[in-house]
Amino acid sequence: MSETAAKLLAPARARMIDLAAARYRPSGRFAYHFAKGKLTMDPVFTEIVARSLIPSGSRIVDLGCGQGLLAAWLLSAQQCRVDSPSAWTFHGIELMPKDVERARSALGGRVVVERGDIRFTKFGVADVVVILDVLHYMNSVDQEAVLSRVRSALPAGGTLLLRVGDAGAGLRFQISQWVDQSVLLSRGHGWKRLYCRPAREWTDLLQGMGFETQTIPMSVNTPFANVLLVARIPCSQ
C-alpha cells in the first residue's frame, strides 16, 4: 500500500483487520484465514478507505464480491471510528454459492449478497460499482458488455473502481498470473483461461464509454502487476 494509506490507517488498521476477519470465524478456518490474509496483504482495501474513494451515502454494488470482504472492511472501519464512508448500502453479486453463504453469515442483514452471474444479473442503480480482480475470468466481449451495463447503472458523478492486472507489465504480470491460477486450483475451480489486457487498453476502453479515468498502482510491496482504475462519469453528463 502507499505510504499515505499506511500513515492514515496505521493506528487502527490492525484492529480493523481483526474485526473484519472475526466475522468469518463461524464459517470455518478457511473463511477466517482467507479474510485475515487478504485484508493484511492486499493493499486495495486500505487504499479505498484512505483515499476516500467511496463517498458517504453511496449505493455500492460489488460485482464478484466473493465472501463480502469489502463490506466487512467498511463495517470494521466504522467500528474503529476511522474517517470512512457512512450510511452506505451494499449489494454484492457473487457466482460461487459457498462464498455467498459465507458473506451472508458474516454480514447478516446489514448487506444484500445475491448469487448470480454478473454477465446476466441485474445491477440496479448504484453510486459506486466495485469490480476487483474479476473481469479477466470472462472473454473480451463479455468484459465490454459488463462494463457497458455498469455505465448504464451509474448516474452522473458515479464511480467505477476496477482493479485489473496490467498485461503490459512483463515479469510482474506473469507472477500475478501464476498466483491467480494457484488460488483457483487451491479453491477447487480448476485451471481457467484468463483474458487480460494492458492497463492502457483498459483505460482506452473506459474512456470510450464516457468515463474519466485515474490509474493508481496497486502492487506496492507486492510482486504483482495490479492497478486500480478509478473511473468517474462527469457530473455534466
Note the pLDDT of residue 193.
78
Class assignment of domain 3-232? alpha beta
Note the pLDDT of residue 176.
72
Domain ranges of the chain: 3-232
Mean pLDDT of 5-24: 83
Tell me the whole-structure pTM to 2 decimals: 0.92
Listed in sequence order, the residues at least 6 apart from 208 whose beta carbon sits closer than 8 Å to its beta carbon are none
Q: What is the tens place of the pLDDT at every residue in 110-120?
A: 899 999 999 99
Q: What is the tens place of the pLDDT at every residue in 185-221?
A: 666 666 677 888 999 999 999 999 999 999 999 877 7
Note the pLDDT of residue 177.
72
Burial string for 132-145 (b: 16+ CB within 10 Å, else e) reads: bbbbbbbeeebbee
Listed in sequence order, the residues at least 6 apart from 131 whose beta carbon sits closer than 8 Å to its beta carbon are 62, 63, 64, 146, 150, 160, 161, 162, 163
Q: Is the pLDDT of residue 49 over 80?
A: yes
Mean pLDDT of 45-60: 95
Mean pLDDT of 90-102: 96
Note the pLDDT of residue 106.
97
